[in-house]
Amino acid sequence: MALRRVVVTGIGLVTPLGTGTEKTWNNLLNGKSGVAPITRFDASGFASQIAAEVKDFEALDHFDKKSAKHLDYFVQYGIVAARMAVDDSGLVINADNCDRVGVITGCGMGGLPTIENNHNVYLKKGAKRISPFFIPMAIPNMPSGHISMQIGAKGPNLSLSTACAAGTHAVGEAYHAIQLGSADMVVTGGTESVICPLGVGGFASMKALSTRNDDPEKASRPFDKDRDGFLIAEGAGMLVLEEYEHAINRGAEIYAEVIGTGASSDAHHIAAPPEDGEGAARCMRMALQSAGLQASDVDYINAHGTSTPLNDRCETAAIKTVFGEHAKSLAISSTKSMTGHALGAAGGLEAAFTAMSLKEQIAPPTMNLETASLECDLDYVPNAARKMDMNIAISNSFGFGGTNGVLVMKRFKS
């Protein structure tokens, strides 16, 4: 059976840079930071008191009062981003095609604020006061479930939970579903919202978060010698992937073509990558092989680029291993320098950014890169977006547990 081509026809974004794709994209290209002091709770006693919250999202603009009350933020963000993506694609879902439309989403932790809130209710008021909506609000597959119900999609319905690679793995699975013929269209991406005491406190206790509390906008600084950790973020990035002929026949606008994906495991450590980035390198090679490409074909990488000392060093090593001398010719950027690290949503956001970069022929900047560390000596598109010829781009995501995901996209030319 011939493998089918897969294209991106819709994008929806809810991010710390804005609710809406155009607003987020414009702020990204202009180097605006979404990081600020935490407002969701009193963080004064925490080592890290800053985060990248979604600031302009009003639940009642998108849901009735009852629905908003019974949907955790990560579900709300996922639904709204998915609606945007479907609207952007112009896709009409009806009785004739609904069983060919799938929903595949990723998230890292599910409804952690809901878990925390209901545990507090239990401690104060007893088991009988736990909300009957607690479980359906918190479990990780609720974004994919609610999205399918709202848009009427009756095809494959999956949720992946692979830490910070979840959004990328979801897009990869959607790509395979269409490529192999089990769906013609898939709404896919990632969503996350864990800016709550347990979430921030847990990552802070691992020494994973930046403590640059007095300078929030400059705290996320991937590849910079003074980076000291990532900035916890929230949001959702959703895409509509579609079989090529189906998209062409209905006259859809196409952002980019997805042409390969890779998935691997470090089999090394619960949180730290190996120093040589071997698992990440293997994943990039797998993705390029699946796309039928040579390393020298790649023009741009949207890096995982978390702003932690270890990750950025190891990702740079992995890129050098895979690309050799061509690594010096690559444009590489970490959009987490502006969005923060949205954990399971990050891969969805960055897949969207990669598709938009190919369409617009521009590489977003890596902000706050003032002096690169000695081990990070590649071209990270510092501090200003760059217009460039871009035919092939990849997006990297690496998660706790040593799980790795890579997407390969190609510029679409009609």
Does the pLDDT of residue 307 top 80, yes or no? Answer: yes
Reported residue count of the chain is 414
pLDDT digits (tens, 9 = 90+) for 274-293: 999 999 999 999 999 999 99
Does the pLDDT of residue 14 top 80, yes or no? Answer: yes
User: Confidence band (pLDDT; 50, 70, 90) for 359?
Assistant: very high
240, 406, 154, 190: CA torsion to nearest 10 = -70
Catalytic-labelled residue, pool 176, 304, 314, 376: 304
Question: Which residues are within 8 A (CB) of 46 and not within 5 positions of it... i.e. 6 or more apart?
Answer: 38, 197, 200, 201, 204
pLDDT digits (tens, 9 = 90+) for 179-217: 999 999 999 999 999 999 999 999 999 999 999 999 999
Mean pLDDT value of segment 233-257: 98
Distance CA 42, CA 44 (A): 6
Going by C-alpha positions, the residue among 359, 297, 357 that lies closest to residue 333 is: 357
Mean pLDDT value of segment 319-331: 98
Question: Which residues are within 8 A (CB) of 410 and not within 5 positions of it... i.e. 6 or more apart?
Answer: 256, 257, 258, 259, 291, 358, 391, 392, 393
Cβ–Cβ under 8 Å, residues 359 and 326: no
Does the pLDDT of residue 304 top 80, yes or no? Answer: yes
Distance CA 151, CA 99 (A): 12
pLDDT digits (tens, 9 = 90+) for 97-147: 999 999 999 999 999 999 999 999 999 999 999 999 999 999 999 999 999
Query: Catalytic site residue 341?
Result: yes
Does the pLDDT of residue 172 top 80, yes or no? Answer: yes
Q: What pLDDT score was predicted for residue 413?
A: 87
Catalytic-labelled residue, pool 164, 196, 283, 376: 164
pLDDT digits (tens, 9 = 90+) for 374-385: 999 999 999 999
Mean pLDDT value of segment 220-249: 98
Mean pLDDT value of segment 404-414: 95
Mean pLDDT (the chain, rounded): 97
pTM: 0.97
Cβ–Cβ under 8 Å, residues 163 and 123: no
Mean pLDDT value of segment 241-251: 97
Mean pLDDT value of segment 325-350: 98
pLDDT digits (tens, 9 = 90+) for 292-301: 999 999 999 9
Query: Catalytic site residue 146?
Result: no
Q: What percent of the chain has pLDDT over 70?
A: 100
- The full set of domains in the chain, from first to last, is 6-249 (3.40.47.10), 261-411 (3.40.47.10)
The DSSP output letter for 127 is G
Does the pLDDT of residue 414 top 80, yes or no? Answer: no
Residue 120: other Cβ atoms inside 10 A: 11
User: Confidence band (pLDDT; 50, 70, 90) for 58?
Assistant: very high
Going by C-alpha positions, the residue among 210, 222, 375, 213 that lies closest to residue 307 is: 222
Residue type at 247?
A: A
Catalytic-labelled residue, pool 146, 169, 176, 341: 341
Query: Catalytic site residue 164?
Result: yes
The DSSP output letter for 2 is P
Conformation bin of residue 157: beta by default, left when phi > 0, alpha when psi is -120 to 50: beta
Token pair for 321: 């291993």
Conformation bin of residue 115: beta by default, left when phi > 0, alpha when psi is -120 to 50: alpha
Q: What percent of the chain has pLDDT over 90?
A: 99
Beta bridge partners of 411: 256
Residue type at 139?
A: I
